[in-house]
Structure 1
Amino acid sequence: MIPLRPTRLSFWEKFSELQWKMVFSSASGGSGSDTVQNHMYSSNPLEWPLMSTGIAYWVSPDSNAQVHLLGNIIVWYSGTISVVAYCSILVFYLLRRRRECYDISNEAWNKFVIMGEVLLGGYLIHYLPYFFTEKTLFLHNYFPALVFKILLTAALMEHI
């Protein structure tokens, strides 16, 4: 039903209605998701950290000319290695601190922990939800997480 008079909703009423409609629209396969599921450039979140797939933006009908979305392989792989390295170093420091072996100062330790809370936390918050999403995913969905991964690489290089 379309209202005949303008509705007056508060911000929170509009916000909750929008969230409600988005949840049930995607759960019911809204916006033609069943036809897009088999897109040739769709990808899985497991493929994103190693940049296994790209996206073709344009393919010439007359020649073999193409424009693809591909990341810089050095940036992507060093970022993935940095995430693993940060987690490994964090476990190492935690085990050493449990045994009361303080390898770094408290100031450096606090900086290292805050770096992980912000950067690794931001990376995981932007990456992990896609494992539970049942819609067609593309490489560009990984870009917000990629920013945090690149920042974590720089912060880890500074720490080492």
Structure 2
Amino acid sequence: MFEQNNKLSSEHPYASEPQSWPLTLSGVSFWTKSESREQIYFIGNIFGWWLEVLLIIAYCAVVLADVLTRRRQIYLLTDKARARLYHNISFFFCGWVTHYFPFFLMSRQKFLHHYLPAHLLAALFSASFLEFLFTDNRTPDTSDPKKKDTSGKLYTFAYLSVIVALLSALIWCFVFFAPLTYGNVSLNIEEILKRQWFDIKLHFAK
């Protein structure tokens, strides 16, 4: 597969490099209709994809902090929390890594849609890690026998509040870019320019 892919070396105006995919910095134009100024342009949900990157960075920071503290015999996380961190959540993280980084080894033309399997795994990872962040994963304090052990407890109100806020932002971003997703709405120049983020180059922007 690598050998055949590397033979596809011709250039394409909408080809992009893997480092631009997680932040969906550029997309692919699939269809245009000049008469009605309509266009289908493939781009990720910018808020959702950026959120995935932030959570991946946060996960790496948590793992690094856990490794460093344990080397100093400081045990901040419970065994159950560490099992979730290194087994359950890391399954999705490793899936994202193995579906994303091999593209850096390919010399063929590459497009944003090559990132979709990795994006799906990043979305599953984000959901599992978000729940982890809103769970009490601290090792219980055994010095005070009267103190209640809350390890493993989900802070439901804060968790649901954040989920509602994130879903609202995701839905807003989806609606904002829906004219490009479906190509069924004619946009004026001002509306097109508002959607022309980063390296996104849209037709009818002039």
TM-score interval (norm. to shorter)? 0.7 to 0.9
- In the TM superposition, residue 26 of structure 1 has moved relative to its aligned partner by 3.8
Provide the residue aligned with 2:132 in structure 1.
Answer: 159
Q: 1:144 to 1:26 in 2, by over 3 A?
A: closer
Matched, 1:95 2:68: yes
Q: Which amino acid aligns with 2:60?
A: C
Q: Is the 8 A contact 1:126 1:145 kept in 2?
A: yes
Q: Distance in 1 between matches of 2:46 and 2:66?
A: 30
AA in 2 matched with 1:99: R
How far did residue 23 of structure 1 move? 5.0
Which residue of the partner structure matches residue 107 of structure 2?
Answer: 134
Aligned length: 133
> What amino acid is aligned across from residue 115 of structure 1 in structure 2?
N
Where in structure 1 do 4 or more consecutive aligned residues deviate above 2 Å?
A: 22-27, 61-64
Map 1:22-41 onto structure 2 (within 5 A).
22-27=1-6, 29=7, 33-34=8-9, 37-41=10-14
- Structure 1, unpaired ranges of 5+: 1-21
8 A contact 1:115–1:152 mirrored in 2 = no
Give, in angstroms, the shift of residue 149 of structure 1.
0.9
The answer to whether the aligner puts 1:82 opposite 2:55 as a matched pair is yes
What percentage of aligned pairs have identical amino acids? 29
Greater relative contact order: 1 or 2 (C-alpha under 8 angstroms, separation 6 or more)? Answer: 2
Give the aligned residue type for 1:48: W
Shift of 1:24: 4.4
For residue 49 of structure 1, what is the aligned residue in structure 2? 22
Return the alpha-carbon distance in structure 2 between the equivalents of residues 84 and 24 of structure 1: 32
1:156 Cα deviation from its structure 2 partner: 1.3
Q: Distance in 1 between matches of 2:94 and 2:29?
A: 31
Q: Could you tell me which residue of structure 1 aligns to residue 85 of structure 2? A: 112
Deviation at 1:152, TM superposition (A): 1.4
Secondary structure of the structure 1 residue equivalent to 2:49: helix
Runs of at least 5 residues in structure 2 that lack an aligned partner in the other structure? 134-206
Amino acid of the structure 2 residue aligned with 1:128:
F
Q: Indicate the RMSD between aligned Cα atoms, in angstroms.
A: 1.5
Kindly indicate which of the two structures has a greater share of residues assigned to helix.
1
